[in-house]
Amino acid sequence: MSIKLHGYWRSTATYRVRIALNLKGVDYEYVPVHLVANGGEQHSMDYARLNPAHLVPTLVDEDEDIILNQSLAIIEYLDERYESDFRLIPEHKTERARVRALAQDIACDIQPVGNLRVLNALKGAFNASQDDVSVWAAHWITLGFDAIEKRLQTQSGKYCFDFDVTMADICLVPQVYNAKRFNIDMDQYPLISKIADNCNALEAFEKAKPENQIDAS
Which pLDDT band, with edges at 50, 70 and 90, does 101 fall under? Answer: very high
Closest among 213, 179, 182 to 196, alpha carbons compared: 179
**pTM exceeding 0.75:** yes
Do 155 and 98 touch, CB atoms closer than 8 A?
A: yes
Render pLDDT for 48-84 as a digit per residue (tens, 0 to 9): 999 999 999 999 999 999 999 999 999 999 999 999 9
Closest among 155, 154, 198 to 176, alpha carbons compared: 198
Cα–Cα distance between 86 and 122 in angstroms, integer? 39
Percentage of the chain exceeding pLDDT 70: 100
Q: Please tell me the predicted confidence (pLDDT) of residue 1.
A: 66
Render pLDDT for 10-48 as a digit per residue (tens, 0 to 9): 999 999 999 999 999 999 999 999 999 989 999 999 999
Gyration radius of the chain's alpha carbons: 17
Which stretches does DSSP call E strand in the chain?
Answer: 3-7, 29-32, 58-61, 66-69
Average pLDDT over the chain reads: 96
Q: Please tell me the predicted confidence (pLDDT) of residue 203.
A: 98
Cα–Cα distance between 188 and 178 in angstroms, integer? 16
Render pLDDT for 154-205 as a digit per residue (tens, 0 to 9): 999 999 999 999 999 999 999 999 999 999 999 999 999 999 999 999 999 9
CA atoms within 13 A on the CB side of 208: 31
Q: Which domains does the chain have, with CATH numbers?
A: 3-86 (3.40.30.10), 93-204 (1.20.1050.10)
DSSP 60: E
Q: Please tell me the predicted confidence (pLDDT) of residue 217.
A: 81
